[in-house]
A and B are shown apart, each in its own frame.
Chain A
């Protein structure tokens, strides 16, 4: 589990993109808690992020410990830490 496949890196990058949208919508909603349209956007992207994180965790390693379904090897700790160079491509080159 050391070098990520291009599919694994792509999934991770897509999760980063969707999650960035969620962080911004979350912070906007904190000061606009009655904006229904913003809530619709938030709910839409939250569902997508949740599904993508679950797909990624099932295929590669758990993104959060509670997404683990491991029974044999604890991949939460066996997978690379995010600051390791093997942790995906797709950042600034």
Chain B
């Protein structure tokens, strides 16, 4: 079960739109090392550990990654506000705009859609923790 707190973990307040930057930052949303992969990694792996300290930690970190996911989406959203057609074409944002306009959609900077193959869940706590260290070394 989850509940929602109506604020960002850290405020996002971008003054100038920048579609080129948005396309790069978007990778932290739905790219190979993005927050969507991070949250799904921990929240999927937590069922397979026999240690409550670990399943509890994976639950809390996975939850925190969802808060990061929301901040990254807020950054991309604010970077793509009030763009002119000329800015969209000049910044290289036109291919994304063709399919999604300024909607938030999980993809890597190069346009590859979010893919669950970016993380592992093998049903073995040691195997999973090694994958976590490779993906996101600092918290674990």
List chain A positions with a Cβ less than 8 A from chain B. Answer: 12-13, 15-16, 19-20, 23, 26-27, 30-31, 33, 61-66, 76, 79, 81-83, 85, 87-93
Q: In whole angstroms, how far apart are the Cα atoms of A23 and B5 in the complex?
A: 14
Closest to A75 in B: B6
B30 → chain A, closest Cβ, in Å?
Answer: 16
Closest to B139 in A: A27
Q: Is B20 an interface residue (CB 8 A)?
A: no
Closest to B4 in A: A64
Q: In whole angstroms, how far apart are the Cα atoms of A54 and B25 in the complex?
A: 34
Whether A91 contacts B11 by the Cβ 8 Å rule is yes
Q: In whole angstroms, how far apart are the Cα atoms of A16 and B6 in the complex?
A: 11
Q: In whole angstroms, how far apart are the Cα atoms of A89 and B11 in the complex?
A: 7
List chain B positions with a Cβ less than 8 A from chain A. Answer: 3-15, 53-54, 56-57, 60-61, 64, 70, 73-74, 77-78, 81, 139
Whether A27 contacts B61 by the Cβ 8 Å rule is yes
A-B contact count (CB 8 A): 79
Whether A91 contacts B7 by the Cβ 8 Å rule is no
Whether A91 contacts B13 by the Cβ 8 Å rule is yes
Q: In whole angstroms, how far apart are the Cα atoms of A78 and B108 in the complex?
A: 33
- Give the residues in chain A near B139, CB-CB below 8 Å: 27
Contact pick for B6, options A13, A19, A63, CB 8 Å:
A63
Closest to B61 in A: A27
- Give the residues in chain B near A23, CB-CB below 8 Å: 60, 64
**CB within 8 Å for A31 and B77 given contacts A12-B7, A83-B8:** no
Contact pick for B9, options A20, A64, A88, CB 8 Å:
A20
Q: In whole angstroms, how far apart are the Cα atoms of A8 and B14 in the complex?
A: 19
Q: In whole angstroms, how far apart are the Cα atoms of A71 and B128 in the complex?
A: 48
Whether B6 contacts A92 by the Cβ 8 Å rule is no
Q: In whole angstroms, how far apart are the Cα atoms of A49 and B136 in the complex?
A: 28
Contact pick for B56, options A20, A30, A81, A91, CB 8 Å:
A30
25 residue pairs bridging A and B, Cβ less than 8 Å apart: A12-B11, A13-B11, A20-B10, A23-B60, A23-B64, A26-B60, A27-B57, A27-B60, A27-B139, A30-B56, A31-B53, A33-B53, A62-B6, A63-B6, A63-B7, A82-B8, A83-B8, A83-B70, A83-B74, A83-B77, A85-B81, A87-B11, A91-B8, A91-B11, A93-B15
